[in-house]
Amino acid sequence: MVAPEISAPARVAAPDEAISLDELRLATRNHGMPLEALRYDLTPAGLHYLLIHYDIPDVDPDAWRLRIGGHVDAPVTLDLDQLRARERVSHTVTLECAGNGRARLLPRPISQPWLDEAVGTARWTGAPLAALLRDAGLRDGAVDVVFTGCDHGTERGVEQDYQRALPVADALGEEVILAYEMNGAPLPPQHGAPVRLIAPGWYGMAQVKWLREITVLDGPFRGFQNAVAYRRKRDPDDPGEPITRIQPRALMIPPGFPDFMTRRRIVDAGEVRLRGRAWSGRAPLRAVELSVDGGATWTPAELEAAGERYAWRAWSASWTARPGDHELCVRAIDELGGQPVGQPWNTQGMANNMVQRVIVTVR
């Protein structure tokens, strides 16, 4: 007999409903990146955000095997040494959870209650996926490639291994790798040891950790994480559009120093250099803009030259801070558009890239 609350559908909070212990439990397991860590080009592994739907699985790297099968001519099983013996490439990639910004939505979709911090950038090293798929004899008519993790749980009544599929054209992208190192060290348990998928530019749900199987399908994948969970839905009956690549976002390092409880910022009057990072997985960035009046007027920030396509870029801007209370906002603009000032609400709180707001008291 399965308890009714574990098969409940996704839910939106009532207007006055506070964050629950269930949400708090998720938030303590799945921590964000403290925003002051935007100072690092590469996020130290312990400061990188984390999102784990179920438990961190216990995977013995010596016993670990990766099976590649399905719609291929030559299914293959590899161990870690065989994977490490293949061509080795590294990419600096910004990962962001598709649920980032969810807790700022009104009404609040109930799930992992992220504010702005579900992001991090690491240097991922591994074997290119396209060559592995070609060596396995990818057949004509392949549609989706399913990536299965070693972790297991239930979600809204559906028992499952964590699984996500990419369209075959995206899986064959030259930047997609099976990563076994993060920032020059073997993957830590929480980030998918011994091997995870890194699909640069895609929201976090695509970056399957503790990878154990790759299955090529000759039709669309209908698993829970693709067909139900990671979709932009207007209402519960809407099948929704799939969530794919990361929308533009800029974040600032909150200036000055914080109050412990409210985290309101306190800044001394005078010239302040504001700094942060900006990224977009869907299109190259064009600009970053700053507002010091709560989003009423915007001025361009300085944006560092582009480095690797899927790595965040530093920005900075000067602000003459005058005594009083101020609301600072920052927004990124890519070749397809910019961040909204109002909320892009949807039932599951996906891809909310509404602009960041930082309240500052200048003394």
Q: Given the rule CB under 6 A, which residues bind ligand MTE? A: 48-53, 95, 97, 120, 149, 151, 162, 191, 204-205, 207-210
Minimum distance, C-beta of residue 7 to Mo ion, in the bound complex (Å) = 22
Cis check for the bond before 258: say yes or no (omega within 30 of 0): no
Summarize as ranges the residues that interact with Mo ion (CB under 5 A).
Answer: 51, 97, 204-205
**Element holding 169 (H helix, E strand):** helix 168-171
Q: Which is nearer to ligand MTE, 144 or 151 (CB)?
A: 151
- Our CB check for ligand MTE shows the closer of 162 and 298 to be 162
Residue type, 209: K
Query: What is the Cα 350 distance to its own chain's centre?
Result: 11
48: which 2 tokens? 């990188």
Least separation, in Å, of the C-beta of 122 and Mo ion? 15
Contact 86, 80 (CB under 8 A): no
Indicate which of ligand MTE, Mo ion, none lies near residue 162 (CB less than 5 to 8 Å, by partner kind). ligand MTE
Report the residue closest to ligand MTE, judged by CB: 204
Closer to ligand MTE at the Cβ: 120 or 254?
120
- State the minimum distance, in angstroms, from the CB of residue 105 to ligand MTE: 17
Of 246 and 332, CB closest to ligand MTE: 246
- Give the amino acid at 293: D
DSSP state of 191: G
CA quadruple 250, 196, 82, 141: dihedral, nearest 10: -90
Q: For Mo ion, which is the closer residue by CB, 91 or 209?
A: 209
As measured in angstroms, the least distance from the Cβ of 217 to ligand MTE is 18
Residue 95 binds which entry of Mo ion, ligand MTE, none, with Cβ cut-offs from 5 to 8 Å by kind?
A: ligand MTE
Burial 345-361 (b: 16+ CB within 10 A, else e): ebbbbbbbbbbbebebe
